[in-house]
A and B are shown apart, each in its own frame.
Chain A
Amino acid sequence: MSKYDVSELDADELNQAIDDTNFPQSHHVPSSNGNRDDGDEKNIRKPSMPLPMKIQNGILSKSYSDDVFAMPGTPRTPRSITTPGHEKCTFHHDLELDHRPSTREDLISDMANSYRMLLSSLGENPNRQGLLKTPERAAKAMLYFTKGYDQSLEEALNGAIFDEDHDEMVMVKDIEMFSMCEHHLVPFYGKVSIGYIPCKKILGLSKLARIVEIFSRRLQVQERLTKQIAVAVTQAVQPSGVAVIIEGVHMCMVMRGVSKTQSKTVTSTMLGVFRDDPKTREEFLNLVHSK
């Protein structure tokens, strides 16, 4: 298992990943419990060490039980390049990445059967012209909306990490995002803005958008999505700080239930200097909201 796999982390491990000690050169604000004062040497991560230390120890030494379901986001049917018969996958439109075969003959037909049963439970006639191929189309659409499970961070980044002596903020904003609410299986969509302060390494800009794609094309909760994106950027380039803001519209709230059509949900994750230094955070927020 790659040490990059943010999707392998459960909630506790995600939280550990955003521990302040994982950020080089972030300004240490003395914490209220005062424990940091002597231990500074131990706590400041030396830039040469790979990130994140705690996670490495956590993941690498852990032996996975047979119940691989314990990890959220772990595909049950690992769909890999070696799965026979899937060299030509029309599923993903990412031509740069190797085709990740995500469709298997049985998967589509199983899901299509479920959808066909759903259609008849609703009282519709699955044999009328408009609905004849709907189960297959709906199955393919659902597999597309969850293709993020097949993609790993390493593949998406594709080595686009460059050495550059730049330590000012880099921000890619208003990246559109489409995800699936894991509670109602109804889409939620919105915009993601990511900012980071590089520490000797910068990331190809489209890779930030690809990171968003990987984690958004899953059954998600907006809070977890924000955190996973932030941790992924951290693991990729080990910056001084990362900030992620997501502004989303949840169809589960807009088209059913409370029916609040104008409502938006905003979540953010601030790591490293963005968390410690209020001026940096303010600069980021100003740039996000500027035209």
Chain B
Amino acid sequence: MSEKYQVVNGNKIHENGDREQNDDASLKEMADCYRLILQNVGENPKREGLLKTPERAAKALLFFTKGYHQKISDVINGAIFTENHDEMVIVKDIEFFSMCEHHLVPFFGKVSIGYLPNNKILGLSKLARIVEVFSRRLQVQERMTKEIAEAVDEALKPLGVGIIVSASHMCMVSRGVQKINSKTLTSVMVGEFRTNQKTRDEFFRLARS
């Protein structure tokens, strides 16, 4: 399986970016793994409620990791337009759901993206789609934030990009330390957002208002 994938920023991306054929074999393999897990946990995989759970759980996990099979260029789909606009554009509170790569437990929250166009603007929903590509993977919040920033930067070559991610980690909320109200915030500032204090302030004020 490793030949088909190239490593980009520590994550494996399918070389064609095409959705990999969900071989019946790999789905069945995953379902068998889940069946074993159910048995080990002490449940009876043959009872009515659990009969098809291995298949459902396998499909769910594949959905939660579908970002591996998506390419940014496909997702943006050419929605880059020339526009004489050099003020900040912000799309805030984009909800995302990702999987903690350490415990395989979800973490979810909001992403706010801001950028200063350099005569090129991006279709707004494409920012949300970029978030989807990188969140539907086994992730670490820090890496996800950086990947989103780099993707926007590469696609548009803007004057600056700012990303703020605020998330609640179920691995911390429902197990371990069990701190329910805790939130983790990460941010990445590129270009003007990093060098110019006023730009950064404006972004924070607008995105967190």
Pair B170/A137 contact, Cβ less than 8 Å = no
Contacts of B65 in A (CB 8 A): 122-124
What is the bound-complex CA distance between A120 and B44, given in angstroms? 26
What is the bound-complex CA distance between A123 and B66, given in angstroms? 10
Pair A115/B33 contact, Cβ less than 8 Å = yes
Contacts of B53 in A (CB 8 A): 182-185, 219
What is the bound-complex CA distance between A3 and B44, given in angstroms? 22
Pair B68/A255 contact, Cβ less than 8 Å = no
Residue picked from B37, B108, B180, most chain A C-beta under 10 Å: B37
Contacts of B20 in A (CB 8 A): 123
* B139, chain A: closest CB distance, angstroms: 9
What is the bound-complex CA distance between A265 and B105, given in angstroms? 21
* Residues A239-276 near B (CB distance < 8 A): 251-252, 254-256, 261
Pair A123/B68 contact, Cβ less than 8 Å = yes
What is the bound-complex CA distance between A144 and B68, given in angstroms? 28
Q: Does A69 contact B (CB under 8 A)?
A: yes
* A152, chain B: closest CB distance, angstroms: 13
- Identify B50's interface contact among A115, A118, A182, CB under 8 A: A182
Instruction: Tell me the count of chain A residues lying within 8 A, CB to CB, of chain B.
Output: 57
Pair B44/A74 contact, Cβ less than 8 Å = yes
Contacts of A254 in B (CB 8 A): 97
Closest to B36 in A: A114
A84-121 to B contact mask, C-beta < 8 Å, 1/0: 00000000010000000000000100110011011111
Q: Does B161 contact A (CB under 8 A)?
A: no
Contacts of B101 in A (CB 8 A): 130-131, 134
What is the bound-complex CA distance between A73 and B57, given in angstroms? 19
Pair B102/A137 contact, Cβ less than 8 Å = yes
Q: Answer whether A187 and B41 are a contact pair too, CB < 8 Å, given A251-B106, A256-B60.
A: no
Pair A185/B33 contact, Cβ less than 8 Å = no
Q: Answer whether A121 and B33 are a contact pair too, CB < 8 Å, given A145-B175, A254-B97.
A: yes
What is the bound-complex CA distance between A145 and B49, given in angstroms? 18
Contacts of A121 in B (CB 8 A): 26, 29-30, 33
What is the bound-complex CA distance between A93 and B147, given in angstroms? 36
Q: Does B5 contact A (CB under 8 A)?
A: yes
* Residues B60-107 near A (CB distance < 8 A): 60-65, 68, 95, 97, 101-106
Residue picked from B4, B26, B175, most chain A C-beta under 10 Å: B175
Q: Does A50 contact B (CB under 8 A)?
A: no
Using CB atoms and an 8 Å cutoff, list the residues of chain B in contact with chain A.
Answer: 1-2, 4-5, 7, 10, 12, 14, 20, 26, 29-30, 33-34, 36-44, 46-47, 49-50, 52-53, 56-57, 60-65, 68, 95, 97, 101-106, 108, 138, 140, 170-171, 173-175, 178, 180
Given contacts A124-B12, A185-B37, A255-B106, could you give 10 more A-B pairs where the C-beta distance is less than 8 Å? A111-B40, A123-B12, A134-B138, A138-B103, A141-B104, A141-B171, A183-B56, A186-B106, A219-B49, A256-B64
In the assembled complex, 29 residue pairs joining A and B whose CB atoms fall closer than 8 Å, in A order, are A69-B47, A76-B39, A111-B37, A121-B26, A121-B30, A121-B33, A123-B1, A123-B68, A130-B10, A130-B102, A134-B104, A137-B102, A141-B105, A143-B41, A145-B175, A146-B43, A150-B42, A178-B170, A178-B174, A184-B53, A184-B56, A184-B57, A185-B37, A185-B53, A185-B57, A186-B106, A219-B38, A251-B97, A256-B60
